[in-house]
Amino acid sequence: MPEFLERQALETFQRDGFLAFDPKIPAAEIDSIRQMLMTLHESDTGFAEGALFDAIGVDDGQQPRRFPQILHPRAFAPGLLQTSFYRTAEAIARQILGEHVRFKADISLLKPARIGAATPWHQDEAFQDPANEHHELSFWLALQPTDRSNSCMEFIPGSHNWPVLPHGFPDGDPRVHALECSTGFDPSEAVPCALPTGGCTIHTQRTMHYAGPNTSDRPRLAYVLIFDLLPTPAKTPRSFPWREQHRTARAQREQAWRRRGGLLVHLWRQRHRVRAETLLFDLRRAIAAMRRLHRRPI
C-alpha cells in the first residue's frame, strides 16, 4: 500500500502530535457521510443502548443536547466504512503505527447551532484503562467549514510526549461523560486548526486538545475514525481515579441493554476487529465485560 503522508507532513505530526491535512475526499462522499450521520442524530438512533448521548450534560433527556455524540455509528450505517475516507485513514494509520494497526472505533460529533457546548481540554487516553499502554490515532473529518466560531479542533504542540495529566469532570459532576484537564499545561499555547469542508486532523491518544462552543447559526458535524495497536501492560503502575468516579446515564443505559442481550450484539458488531494475534486479548475483554454485568446493579 503506498504511503499517503509525505515526509514533511509525517515529521510535523511526529514533532507536534497532531496534523491538519487534506485527505482529498470527494465532495459527494462528504455529503453522503453527513447525510447518514444527520439521519442517525435526527432519529435518536442508539439512545436506548447508550450509543447516543449528550457528552457535556447529565444526559437525562430533560434538557436539549448541547453536544450529542454517537458511538460506533457504523453499526447503524455500515456504509460509513465503505468510503475513501476510511481507506485513506487506514492507510495513514498503517504508515504511522505499522502493519499491526487495527480499526478501533468511530464517533459522530454534533454541536447544535448557537447552543453547541465546548469540548473541555483533555487527553483521549484519560478514558482508557491505566493498566495498559495505548497507541492510538484519531482522524477528525470536518463535514462543513470549521473554525473557532463553530468549534474547530485546537491542540497543544508536543503534548503527545507528556504523561496522562490529572483529569476531572466539567463543573465537578461525575454524571457528565466528558472529562476535563485543567492543570499541567498552558491553553495560550493552543494551535487552532480551521478546516474547509472535507479537511481532517490527526492526533494521538495523549495529545492535549479542545474545541470551543458552536456560536454559529449552523450545526457543526464531525466524523471521527480511531485506529490503534493492541494494548500492552503498562510498565509503570498508574491510577485514573476519575474512571471509577464516572456515573453517567449513558453507561447505565448501555449496561441495561447489554444485560438484555445487547452484549452479544456488541461482540458480533466488533467481530471484524478480531485477529489471530489479538484473539486472547479480545476474549479476555469479553469475559471481563460479562463479569461486570453480573457484579454491578443497574
β-sheet bridge partners, residue 146:
195
For residue 251, give Cα distances in angstroms to 204, 240, 289.
25, 18, 13
pTM over 0.85: yes
Separation of alpha carbons 179 and 189, rounded Å: 20
Which residues, at least 6 apart from 287, have a Cβ–Cβ distance to it below 8 Å? none
- What's residue 61's pLDDT? 77
Query: How much is the CA Rg of the chain, to the nearest whole Å?
Result: 18
- For 7-295, which CATH superfamily applies? q2cbj1_9rhob like domain (2.60.120.620)
pLDDT in tens, 157-216: 999 999 999 999 999 999 999 999 999 999 999 999 999 999 999 999 999 999 999 999
pLDDT in tens, 229-239: 999 999 999 99
CA angle 187, 188, 192 (to 5 degrees): 85
Is residue 147 predicted with pLDDT exceeding 70?
yes
Q: Say if residues 200 and 86 touch (Cβ distance below 8 Å).
A: no
- What's residue 1's pLDDT? 46
